[in-house]
């Protein structure tokens, strides 16, 4: 009679890492690659060489391609968290019963992340490779923004001449703070947003709420020496 199959786990071969250790090591390698990808893409854009990502992660190019066989797969995985932040912020804004408050809260979250997370800046302000259908994602975000603006205008929270095109104008202004350290960039972004949003309102209160404290900025902050610029990863 044939031998009955054993239900005992296979014995571990001496000198070979156990399966759990291999899985943990693979997870660590994957996280290293994703962290390196976010850094390289933030510095060079999403068309940066895959070899630069592998070097930054400390893995071989073959290992990188085993984990992520295409650039699209790597970019999607690297920015998955940032895309989730965008999606959640939009859903919360759309669910807010006060359209003006919902729009302001969305913009505050976006502005905060924009000046503290370069990966988010890449997702929100730049473009993905065509294979990721970024145009569709951008069109969806613009449609939701337009809906939020229309709701706020219809509720009398925004002035009639406010346009959805004013939001990219605001975000472009805020993104210029990304070169500053977070302790300066975050309060500056909040102050600028609050200042501008008060001017967006249809009926600003006669005594508006105080602005957030002014950050420690002066004209010297308009120019940063090359040594202070974010390092660029060479291909």
Q: Which residues pair with 158 in a beta bridge?
A: 201
Residue 2, CA distances (Å) to 5, 8, 9, 110, 233 in order: 9, 17, 20, 65, 61
Residues 183 and 120 placed together within one structural domain of the fold: yes
Interval 106-159: pLDDT, tens: 999 999 988 887 767 666 665 554 445 556 666 777 888 899 999 999 999 999
Residues 88 and 168 placed together within one structural domain of the fold: yes
Query: What is the pLDDT, as a whole number, of residue 46?
Result: 75
Task: Using the 3D structure, point to which of 29, 55, 78 is the last residue of a domain.
Answer: 78
The enclosing domain of 174 has a CATH number of 1.10.357.10
* Distance between CA atoms of residues 93 and 54, nearest Å: 38
Task: Using the 3D structure, point to which of 63, 78, 93 is the last residue of a domain.
Answer: 78
Q: Is residue 226 part of a domain?
A: no
Q: Which residues pair with 201 in a beta bridge?
A: 158
Residues 30 and 140 placed together within one structural domain of the fold: no
| Residues whose CB falls within 8 Å of the CB of residue 44, separated by 6 or more in sequence, listed in order | 52, 232, 233, 235
Residues 60 and 160 placed together within one structural domain of the fold: no
Query: What is the pLDDT, as a whole number, of residue 122?
Result: 64
Question: DSSP character for 130?
Answer: G
Q: Is residue 230 part of a domain?
A: no
State whether residue 220 is helix, strand or coil.
helix
Q: Is residue 233 part of a domain?
A: no
* Distance between CA atoms of residues 124 and 126, nearest Å: 6
Residues 197 and 116 placed together within one structural domain of the fold: yes
Residues 43 and 111 placed together within one structural domain of the fold: no
Interval 30-45: pLDDT, tens: 889 999 998 888 777 7
Query: Among residues 103, 93, 210, which one has the least CA distance to residue 166?
Result: 103
Residues 90 and 71 placed together within one structural domain of the fold: no
Task: Using the 3D structure, point to which of 56, 78, 100 is the last residue of a domain.
Answer: 78
Residues 115 and 156 placed together within one structural domain of the fold: yes
Q: Is residue 213 part of a domain?
A: no
State whether residue 201 is helix, strand or coil.
strand
State whether residue 158 is helix, strand or coil.
strand
Query: Among residues 79, 172, 89, which one has the least CA distance to residue 117?
Result: 79
Residues 97 and 188 placed together within one structural domain of the fold: yes
Residue 1, CA distances (Å) to 4, 7, 157 in order: 9, 18, 83
* Distance between CA atoms of residues 51 and 61, nearest Å: 6
Q: Is residue 228 part of a domain?
A: no
Residues 189 and 122 placed together within one structural domain of the fold: yes
Q: Is residue 170 part of a domain?
A: yes
Residues 88 and 198 placed together within one structural domain of the fold: yes
Asked if 124 contacts 110 with a C-beta cutoff of 8 angstroms, the reply is yes
Number of domains, the chain: 2
Query: What is the pLDDT, as a whole number, of residue 232?
Result: 38
Range of the domain at 66: 19-78
- Which residues of the chain are under the pLDDT cut of 50? 1-7, 9-10, 12-17, 19, 22, 129-131, 225-235
Residues 52 and 168 placed together within one structural domain of the fold: no
Listed in sequence order, the DSSP H helices in 8-79 are 19-44, 50-57, 61-67, 71-78
Q: Is residue 5 part of a domain?
A: no
Query: What is the pLDDT, as a whole number, of residue 20?
Result: 56
The enclosing domain of 32 has a CATH number of 1.10.10.60
| Residues whose CB falls within 8 Å of the CB of residue 48, separated by 6 or more in sequence, listed in order | 40, 41, 233, 235
Q: Is residue 46 part of a domain?
A: yes
């Amino acid at each position: 009679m044939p031998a009955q199959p054993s239900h005992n786990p296979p014995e571990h071969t001496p000198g070979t890492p156990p399966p759990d250790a291999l899985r943990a090591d693979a997870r660590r390698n994957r996280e290293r690659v994703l962290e390196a990808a976010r850094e390289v893409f933030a510095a060079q854009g999403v068309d940066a060489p895959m070899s630069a990502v592998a070097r930054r992660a400390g893995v071989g190019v073959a290992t990188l391609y085993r984990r992520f066989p295409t650039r699209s797969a790597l970019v999607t995985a690297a920015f998955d968290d940032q895309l989730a932040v965008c999606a959640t912020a939009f859903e919360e804004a759309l669910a807010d019963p006060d359209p003006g408050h919902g729009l302001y809260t969305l913009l505050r979250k976006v502005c905060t992340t924009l000046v503290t997370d370069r990966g988010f800046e890449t997702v929100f302000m730049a473009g993905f490779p065509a294979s990721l259908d970024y145009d569709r994602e951008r069109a969806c975000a613009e449609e939701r923004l337009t809906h939020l603006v229309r709701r706020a205008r219809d509720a009398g929270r925004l002035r009639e001449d406010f346009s959805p095109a004013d939001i990219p104008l605001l975000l472009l202004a805020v993104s210029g703070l990304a070169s500053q350290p977070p302790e300066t960039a975050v309060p500056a972004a909040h102050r600028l947003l609050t200042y501008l949003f008060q001017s967006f309102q249809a009926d600003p209160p006669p005594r508006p709420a105080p602005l957030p404290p002014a950050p420690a900025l002066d004209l010297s902050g308009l120019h940063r020496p090359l040594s202070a610029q974010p390092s660029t990863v060479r291909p």
